[in-house]
Amino acid sequence: MKIATTTVVLLLFALTTKLCFFGVTNAQNSPVLDTDGDELRAGVPYYVVSAKWDIFIGNGGLTLGRSNDQTCPGIVVQTKPSLIFVDNGTPVIFTTAEEGGDDVIRLNTDLFVEFIPGIDILCESTVWKVDDNVSGDETAWLTTDGVKGKPSLNTLTSLFKIEKTRKNYYKFNYCPSACDSCGGIATLCDEVDRIRDGGQMRLGLGDSGWPWEFKKATKTIKQVVNV
């Protein structure tokens, strides 16, 4: 009788542990939602707008910018405040890095972010990338000369993830999952923060992630790329 009781206890413990693990895993890979409560879809244009109102920058969206010393690549900046209207910025599209998956954008999974194709007539790419040409205490800024494709050394600096903060607010981070062809190379693991650089509010790697939310760029949404 004692053996039977012990067996039942062990089975219950194993089942509970499995359910808890499944619940955590399921929550970590839940769909990212837009401001209408709909799941984000790959290839669909969205505005990325600040979830917090700031007296100096308002709650504007992200857009393509230029650094003071070069035209290309572009940089990722927040629009400047306006007393008349909220500037939602330039729409972005997301592409999942995982091959063969569905088109739903999920939490904590590798993805590519790019401003809608054709928006930049000066530079070839609009794919977000972490500038890896930095040293010491220099900020690793986000630029727009990234590369999409199968996770590899060529695409490693363009792999981002979305994490949930609260409500339907989200933050970006740069912490790529291991890729088969990267040879075990170590990468940074940091939050994507909003950092002032001269007269611009830029995105770069920092200690804490700024909260954002995603708005459909049009009410009648259409996929602009095939993924």
Query: What's the pLDDT at 137?
Result: 78
Look up residue 75 and give its two tokens: 């940089």
Task: Say if 227 falls within a structural domain.
Answer: no
Q: For the chain, how big is the Rg over CA atoms in Å?
A: 20
Task: Give the chain's residues under pLDDT 70.
Answer: 1-28, 55-57, 83, 135-136, 178-187, 219-227
Task: Say if 11 falls within a structural domain.
Answer: no
Task: Say if 222 falls within a structural domain.
Answer: no
* Domain residue limits at 80: 31-216
Look up residue 31 and give its two tokens: 């769909």
Task: Say if 223 falls within a structural domain.
Answer: no
Query: What's the pLDDT at 198?
Result: 86
Query: What's the pLDDT at 11?
Result: 32
Task: Say if 183 falls within a structural domain.
Answer: yes
- 8-63 per-position pLDDT tens digit: 333 333 434 343 333 444 566 899 999 999 999 999 999 999 998 776 667 789 99
Query: What's the pLDDT at 181?
Result: 63
Task: Say if 127 falls within a structural domain.
Answer: yes
Provide the CATH number for the domain around residue 67. 2.80.10.50
Task: Say if 13 falls within a structural domain.
Answer: no
Task: Say if 2 falls within a structural domain.
Answer: no
DSSP state of 151: S
DSSP class per residue in 165-213: -STT-EEEEE-PPP-TTSTT-----EEEEEEEETTEEEEEEESSPPPEE
Query: What's the pLDDT at 126?
Result: 95
Q: How many domains does the chain have?
A: 1
SS3 149: coil
